Amino acid sequence: MRPTPFRNALLVTALAITVGACNQNRDAEYTEALLGTWVMQDMMEGGAVLDAETTFLSGGRVNWSGRISYQGQSVPIIASGTWRVENGHLHYTVETSNITELLPNGFASADSIVSVSAKEYVYVSGSEGETVVEQRKT
């Protein structure tokens, strides 16, 4: 049989539906796996140390807490917002933050999820382009 425009369109449509269903399943798996609290420590530019916790709650809420330490001084971090997983990316928006100079209210980004396991969450930061590894808080 010769390929026809109709058959080609049908094949492309079927493929798109299949890929879309796979993405939805993967997104649902990531959403479930991310629920809970994740911790990380990072050396920031200039030598400051960031100790942070991220808690993903069901219903699309997220809370961030921690502190930035530099030369014996420490600044607490308290923020909250919304999150969702879509097409393999974690989308989040900051609604309230106590450190608006670094994490302004309304800031939004989408991190590319590399992997999520029972113990480790790896992603590429949408705002900085760096690979980040967080550990599940036990």
Q: Which of 102, 103, 109 is nearest to 125 (CA)?
A: 109
pLDDT digits (tens, 9 = 90+) for 27-79: 999 999 999 999 999 998 889 999 999 999 999 999 999 999 999 999 999 99
- The pLDDT of residue 21 is above 50: no
Domain containing residue 53: CATH number:
2.40.128.280
pLDDT confidence of residue 19: 45
Q: Confirm whether 16 is domain-assigned.
A: no
| Chain mean position to CA 29 | 14
Model pLDDT for residues 71-116, shown as the tens digit of each residue: 999 999 999 999 999 999 999 999 999 999 989 999 999 999 999 9
73 in a domain, yes or no? yes
Number of compact structural domains in the chain: 1
Single pTM value for the model: 0.81
Residue 20 counted as domain residue: no
In a domain, 6, yes or no: no
Q: Output the pLDDT for position 6.
A: 57
Q: Is residue 110 part of a domain?
A: yes
Range of the domain at 114: 31-136
Q: Please, are residues 42 and 49 in contact by the beta-carbon 8 Å criterion?
A: yes
Q: Is there a domain that residue 1 lies in?
A: no
* CB-neighbour burial class of residue 18 (10 A; exposed 0-12, middle 13-18, buried 19+): exposed
Q: Do the Cβ atoms of 82 and 92 come closer than 8 Å?
A: yes
2 domain-assigned: no
